[in-house]
Chains A and B, each alone.
Chain A
């Protein structure tokens, strides 16, 4: 067998953001031995970028809130193609998962009576997001990290997994390498939890870091698990657009939650011009009412800036295309105007949105207490992902679980802000618990040494091509541009068919890409290995987006601009066929149980 360092754990958790950490903590608490693999250093995962808050119906600020309202909001936001069981569990369990963080040391902002404060966010009927200023994700990951290091969890930092290993049908391990020395690592395990996050690096304008190369989705797909809803990619409406080097960096929805408004170059609040029918009853129709909502008036309806992300992103695109955009191709997001309405407005802005103040001051020379920000859509999140059982988070591969962004189901066609951090906690815990339970019932599986040799040989191939191969960064760059152009916010069948042709050529280029230098901490080599994942997932997104001939949530078809009720009945599922080709099928969504249907009806 190739020269590899071997580790053995009952449960291997791949990914150490919120979901991975929460899964590791739970699996360890259940008595399993746990290995936690992170692609970067511990505590650097993309969870730190989550700003606005974690959604949970604690009802601390508005006592009309409860799990049923949260469930109905999540289903409405997801346009009813959600896995309703996950939406139900999520709404019911999120409050306990948030309170548990407090037990582990998290310090959320407080209400005047000393409880956890909650703020407004798009698509949530009541103030629901527990938060810490605008750095909630950092608070969450640090709390989980600081708790996990005192549990029986072995952390493998800066290790990337490139393949899952199976014994027959079930999981028996994972194979990868460490960044520092470039040594191969073999992890034997009885169960594995994928918690690798998103796919943002498939696009050129993204809020995601280098890590988000669709690893988990691709690992699962190649191991025989199914992907679901891959056409549903979330383009967050407010990313920075200027200067060029920061294009795509997130501007939290919390800015709008605190009273920030969107204006076009004519100074018009264009969000009032297009309010979807299913939100009309709960949306303010004048600026005064919208303002009162952001200031906590329980009788006011929310301003249209807080409509769901898919809708706000498209309205921004429409203004820009109509020539009413800002100088750098976005629109204006103005929080400075609240100084007209609140005493010490500048101070309030700095207190409520400290990282946004800091980010614009340092990166764009903009003082957000004085000037409006320029913002535009950025690739932020994928609602689709690995198909899992709603209760256990197990995929179709026995012993393989998935949680967090890399799993599908909870968010349907569009995710509400704040529902990701709660997703990580609720389903990270469930995945860890069920993975540990599964591991208890299983003997250790076998690992095929020949398979490990084959993987090691494949991983080193870029070095054999060395300088004769194309630079992997060039392939990645072209892929990102192509996906942005042809499978972006606004989609057309002919463009996506062209994207599929491009992907075939890019696959050849990727397979011929070379790595220079040696195996020690060599990002060029690492990028060459990430390319395969990005290509697989780009194909899944494009193929799924072609088949769904309607517009729903994050998926907008210029050639099919309307929602088609007949297409609310299925999820699109992608599997690797016996011949290696991707196969798509429409899987019917199980009927909603009567009691959940009643909840949705009552909350309309």
Chain B
């Protein structure tokens, strides 16, 4: 069996450092397997989050050789094992210890987004009718596993730490899923402009390229939402129409 070197981040923000571990590797292994082997035999107290180990829960986000990835879905045969593999915590969130970060900001942001509110049921038995074609685009966003890698890689959050002014790509996709939900009745366009800070996104598509679920966050969520904001607040023709008609268009 071959062996490989892994440099894992150990410790906190101030005292932290990369520490080297040798471990044996075999066919089909993913980075999380190597991290678990090291934890079981060499570093029992190594802090790492994981759950499903199948790319479905979004717990094991990290930066592998500098790239934001899920550890459970990064196979070792996609990496150059002649060189040490570095595994570091997500950089955009405060470090707790080792590979674990404090992602609580994300949970707080979600709570501030206006919740789903359906129209009255379509049928007397209290149910609704929706066509598959109408739910397809919403289902794309609802594939999100909340790994927060898009938040980690977004430069508005990562480099500029605009966490008070910008909800980040995860929650723009979340708003898109609500806004495009065939049953939802709430209007979040004004919030997008102000509280959610959609204007701060300048469409570099880093989030889309990082998403392990391959959700086209920029093209399918953020750009259509930006268009709604523009139509509402910056389109002179629409403003004129609104003025003449004397009511708010949606």
Q: Which residues of A contact B (CB under 8 A)?
A: 40-46, 48-49, 99, 102-105, 107, 109-110, 113-116, 132-133, 135, 138-139, 142, 146-147, 149-150, 155, 157, 180, 209-211, 242-246, 249-250, 355, 358-359, 362-364, 471-474, 477, 515-518, 520-525, 527
The reply to whether B45 and A42 contact each other, CB–CB distance below 8 Å, is no
Q: Which A residue sits closest to B40, measured CB to CB?
A: A473
Per-position contact with A for B181-198: 1 when CB-CB < 8 Å, else 0?
101100000000000000
The reply to whether B132 and A109 contact each other, CB–CB distance below 8 Å, is yes
CA distance A521 to B48 in the complex (A): 8
Given A102-B127, A245-B33, A364-B28, verify A107-B139 contact (CB < 8 Å).
yes
Given A40-B51, A49-B54, A103-B118, verify A149-B44 contact (CB < 8 Å).
no
Q: Quick one: which of A99, A139, A363, A525 contacts B28, CB cutoff 8 A?
A: A363
Given A46-B51, A46-B52, verify A150-B115 contact (CB < 8 Å).
yes
Can you report 12 A-B residue pairs in the complex whose CB atoms are below 8 A from each other?
A102-B183, A107-B130, A110-B131, A138-B143, A157-B107, A209-B51, A243-B26, A243-B27, A245-B28, A245-B33, A355-B56, A363-B28
The reply to whether B111 and A524 contact each other, CB–CB distance below 8 Å, is no
**B139 contact set on A, CB distance < 8 A:** 107, 132-133
Given A48-B145, A99-B126, A477-B40, verify A41-B54 contact (CB < 8 Å).
no
CA distance A242 to B29 in the complex (A): 10
List CB contacts (< 8 Å) of B132-147 with chain A: 132, 135, 138-139, 142-143, 145-146
The reply to whether B45 and A523 contact each other, CB–CB distance below 8 Å, is yes
CA distance A113 to B122 in the complex (A): 12
Q: Which A residue sits closest to B39, measured CB to CB?
A: A523
Given A209-B50, A246-B28, A523-B44, verify A105-B97 contact (CB < 8 Å).
no
**A250 contact set on B, CB distance < 8 A:** 54
CA distance A341 to B102 in the complex (A): 50
CA distance A46 to B50 in the complex (A): 11
The reply to whether A107 and B181 contact each other, CB–CB distance below 8 Å, is yes
**A472 contact set on B, CB distance < 8 A:** 44
The reply to whether B115 and A146 contact each other, CB–CB distance below 8 Å, is yes
Q: How far is the CB of B220 from chain A (nearest CB, A)?
A: 15
Q: Quick one: which of A104, A135, A139 contacts B116, CB cutoff 8 A?
A: A104
Closest 5 CB pairs of A and B: A243-B28, A517-B45, A524-B44, A114-B129, A105-B116
Q: Quick one: which of B49, B55, B97, B135 contacts A359, CB cutoff 8 A?
A: B55
Which of A104, A147, A249, A472 has its CB near the most chain B CB atoms (within 10 A)? A249
Q: How far is the CB of B157 from chain A (nearest CB, A)?
A: 18
CA distance A142 to B26 in the complex (A): 35
**A363 contact set on B, CB distance < 8 A:** 28, 30, 54, 73, 75
CA distance A48 to B52 in the complex (A): 8
Known A135-B56, A364-B28; further 17 A-B contacts with Cβ < 8 A? A40-B49, A40-B51, A48-B145, A105-B116, A105-B183, A105-B184, A110-B131, A113-B129, A114-B130, A146-B116, A157-B107, A180-B96, A210-B51, A243-B29, A245-B33, A250-B54, A521-B97
CA distance A567 to B48 in the complex (A): 46
Given A103-B118, A146-B116, A472-B44, verify A138-B145 contact (CB < 8 Å).
yes
CA distance A355 to B52 in the complex (A): 13
Q: Quick one: which of A43, A209, A249, A515 contacts B44, CB cutoff 8 A?
A: A515
Q: How far is the CB of A437 from chain B (nearest CB, A)?
A: 25
CA distance A41 to B49 in the complex (A): 9
Q: How far is the CB of B239 from chain A (nearest CB, A)?
A: 32
Q: Quick one: which of B33, B48, B53 contacts A523, CB cutoff 8 A?
A: B48
The reply to whether A471 and B40 contact each other, CB–CB distance below 8 Å, is yes
**A244 contact set on B, CB distance < 8 A:** 26-29
The reply to whether A110 and B135 contact each other, CB–CB distance below 8 Å, is yes
**Within 8 Å of chain A (Cβ to Cβ): is B176?**
no
**B51 contact set on A, CB distance < 8 A:** 40, 44-46, 48, 209-211
Given A40-B51, A49-B52, verify A522-B45 contact (CB < 8 Å).
yes
The reply to whether B40 and A362 contact each other, CB–CB distance below 8 Å, is no
**B27 contact set on A, CB distance < 8 A:** 243-244
**Within 8 Å of chain A (Cβ to Cβ): is B110?**
yes
Q: How far is the CB of A204 from chain B (nearest CB, A)?
A: 13
**Within 8 Å of chain A (Cβ to Cβ): is B128?**
yes
Given A244-B27, A523-B44, verify A132-B58 contact (CB < 8 Å).
no
Q: Quick one: which of A477, A515, A521 contacts B47, CB cutoff 8 A?
A: A521
CA distance A243 to B30 in the complex (A): 10
Given A105-B181, A473-B40, A523-B48, verify A362-B97 contact (CB < 8 Å).
no
The reply to whether B59 and A41 contact each other, CB–CB distance below 8 Å, is yes
Q: How far is the CB of A81 from chain B (nearest CB, A)?
A: 31
CA distance A523 to B59 in the complex (A): 15
List CB contacts (< 8 Å) of B29-88 with chain A: 29-30, 33, 39-41, 44-59, 73, 75
The reply to whether A249 and B54 contact each other, CB–CB distance below 8 Å, is yes
**B130 contact set on A, CB distance < 8 A:** 107, 110, 114
CA distance A102 to B126 in the complex (A): 10
**B50 contact set on A, CB distance < 8 A:** 209-210
Q: Which A residue sits closest to B77, measured CB to CB?
A: A365
Q: How far is the CB of A529 from chain B (nearest CB, A)?
A: 13
CA distance A44 to B145 in the complex (A): 9
The reply to whether A362 and B55 contact each other, CB–CB distance below 8 Å, is yes
**Within 8 Å of chain A (Cβ to Cβ): is B98?**
yes
**Within 8 Å of chain A (Cβ to Cβ): is B167?**
no
The reply to whether B56 and A138 contact each other, CB–CB distance below 8 Å, is yes
Given A114-B130, A115-B129, verify A49-B57 contact (CB < 8 Å).
yes
Q: Quick one: which of B44, B53, B57 contacts A471, CB cutoff 8 A?
A: B44
CA distance A522 to B116 in the complex (A): 38
**A41 contact set on B, CB distance < 8 A:** 49, 59, 103, 107
Q: Which A residue sits closest to B98, measured CB to CB?
A: A521
Q: How far is the CB of B90 from chain A (nearest CB, A)?
A: 13
Which of A105, A517, A525 has its CB near the most chain B CB atoms (within 10 A)? A105
Q: How far is the CB of A9 from chain B (nearest CB, A)?
A: 19
The reply to whether B97 and A520 contact each other, CB–CB distance below 8 Å, is yes
**Within 8 Å of chain A (Cβ to Cβ): is B100?**
yes
Q: How far is the CB of A263 from chain B (nearest CB, A)?
A: 23
**B143 contact set on A, CB distance < 8 A:** 135, 138
CA distance A355 to B110 in the complex (A): 25
The reply to whether B128 and A102 contact each other, CB–CB distance below 8 Å, is yes
**A155 contact set on B, CB distance < 8 A:** 107
The reply to whether A515 and B57 contact each other, CB–CB distance below 8 Å, is no
**B41 contact set on A, CB distance < 8 A:** 471, 473
**B45 contact set on A, CB distance < 8 A:** 515-518, 522-525
Q: Which A residue sits closest to B78, measured CB to CB?
A: A362
**A473 contact set on B, CB distance < 8 A:** 39-41, 44
Q: Quick one: which of B75, B142, B184 contacts A139, CB cutoff 8 A?
A: B142
The reply to whether A110 and B132 contact each other, CB–CB distance below 8 Å, is yes
